[in-house]
C-alpha cells in the first residue's frame, strides 16, 4: 500500500514506532507505518487510537489540527513518496543497518533517513547506506506524544540539509531538537542507563526495594518518576540492549546489565508493555 505524497514513513510497529506515529498523526501528518508482522500492525492501530485519545485528554496535541491519515503496510515500497523515514525497530545494530540499507534503496535521493536509537553510534549505521549524508539519529523519549524534547544525533557524515530538514520536521511536530555529537549512548542514555542499572543493583543486593529506591530518587533528588519506573517505561529488554551496546563500545563495566534485569527479561516481565516489570500494571502497552 502507498500513501499520498509528503507522508511520513515509520518503520517498526513496536512501542516507539506506534508512539512516534501517534505524535505525527496528532499534528496532522499522514503516516505509513511499516512492519513485517500483520498482527503487530493490527495491535498498533488499536494502541495508536488509545494514545491519541489520551494525548487529546491531556491537551498534548493541537486541538485545531485535523488528524493525519494512517496507512499500514508489510513492505516499505510506499517510502518512495515520503518526506522522511523514521526507523524505529529494535535496538540491534545489524538489524537496523539491514533495514536502513533496504529503505535507502527505495527512497528518492535527498530523503532524510532517521534512525531512532538510544545508543548505537550513527557512524556505524552510516556504513550501510549509499548516501550517509542523509542519515541522522533521533532519540525520542517514551512516550513521544507527551515528551516535547528530542535528542538529535548528527553523525560525522550527516549533511547540513538533512539536519535542517529534521529540525523543521520536529518543529512541525511541536518538539524541541537538541543536537549532539555522535558517541555511544549520546547524552541521555550514557547518563541515564548506567544510573538505572545501578538502581537495579541496589534492589538486587537487597539494600532497598524498588519502591523505596524510586521514592528516594523522587523525593530527595527530584527525579520525576524514579529510575525503576523509568526502566519499566523504557522496556527492560530495550534497556538491556542499550546497556550491552554501551558496554561493548565503551568498556565501562558499570554498563554490564545487572543479573536481576536479565532475570526479569528471561521471565518475560519487560515493564509497562507487558504489564509487569519492577511494578505491576493493569494493562500492557502491547
Q: Which residues are catalytic?
A: 139
Q: Cβ contacts of residue 137 below 8 Å, gap of 6+? A: 114, 115, 116, 117, 122, 125, 152, 153, 154, 155, 182, 186
Angle at which helix 227-234 crosses helix 236-250, to 10 degrees, equals 100
Q: Which three cell numbers stand for residue 166?
A: 529534521
Q: Nearest-CA neighbor of 93 among 118, 110, 68, 70?
A: 118
The DSSP line for 211-231 is HHHHHHHHHHH--SS-HHHHH
Integer angstrom CA distances of residue 84 from 42, 99, 203: 23, 15, 42
Main-chain dihedrals φ then ψ at residue 141, nearest 5 degrees: -90, 150
Q: Cell 523514521 sits at which residue? A: 86
* Nearest-angstrom CA–CA distance, 34 and 80: 13
What one-character DSSP code corresponds to residue 193? H
For 155-200, strand residue ranges (E) read 176-181
- Rounded-to-integer distance, Cα 120 and Cα 195, Å: 18
Q: What's 69's DSSP letter?
A: P
Amino acid at each position: 500500500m502507498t500513501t499520498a505524497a509528503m507522508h511520513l514513513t515509520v518503520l517498526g510497529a513496536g512501542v516507539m514506532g506506534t508512539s512516534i506515529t501517534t505524535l505525527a498523526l496528532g499534528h496532522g501528518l499522514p503516516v505509513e507505518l511499516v512492519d513485517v508482522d500483520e498482527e503487530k500492525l493490527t495491535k498498533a492501530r488499536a494502541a495508536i487510537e488509545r494514545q491519541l485519545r489520551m494525548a487529546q485528554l491531556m491537551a498534548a496535541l493541537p486541538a485545531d489540527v485535523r488528524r493525519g491519515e494512517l496507512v499500514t503496510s508489510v513492505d516499505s515500497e510506499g517510502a518512495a513518496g515520503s518526506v522522511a523515514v523514521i526507523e524505529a525497530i529494535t535496538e540491534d545494530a545489524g538489524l537496523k543497518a539491514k533495514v536502513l540499507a533496504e529503505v535507502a534503496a527505495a527512497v528518492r535521493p535527498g530523503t532524510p533517513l532517521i534512525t531512532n536509537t538510544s545508543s548505537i553510534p550513527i557512524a556505524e549505521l552510516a556504513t550501510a547506506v549509499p548516501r550517509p549524508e542523509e542519515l541522522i539519529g533521533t532519540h525520542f523519549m517514551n512516550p513521544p506524544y507527551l515528551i516535547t524534547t528530542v535528542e538529535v544525533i548528527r553523525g560525522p557524515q550527516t549533511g547540513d540539509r538533512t539536519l535542517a530538514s529534521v529540525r523543521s520536521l520536529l518543529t512541525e511536530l511541536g518538539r524541541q531538537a537538541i543536537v549532539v555529537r555522535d558517541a555511544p549512548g549520546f547524552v541521555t542514555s550514557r547518563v541515564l542507563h548506567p544510573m538505572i542499572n545501578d538502581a537495579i543493583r541496589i534492589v538486587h543486593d537487597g539494600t532497598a526495594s524498588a519502591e523505596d529506591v524510586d521514592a528516594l530518587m523522587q523525593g530527595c533528588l527530584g527525579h520525576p518518576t524514579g529510575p525503576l519506573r523509568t526502566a519499566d517505561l523504557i522496556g527492560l529488554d530495550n534497556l538491556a540492549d542499550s546497556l550491552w551496546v554501551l558496554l561493548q563500545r565503551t568498556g565501562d563495566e558499570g554498563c554490564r546489565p545487572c543479573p536481576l534485569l536479565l532475570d526479569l527479561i528471561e521471565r518475560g516481565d519487560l515493564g509497562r508493555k507487558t504489564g509487569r516489570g519492577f511494578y505491576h500494571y493493569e494493562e500492557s502497552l502491547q
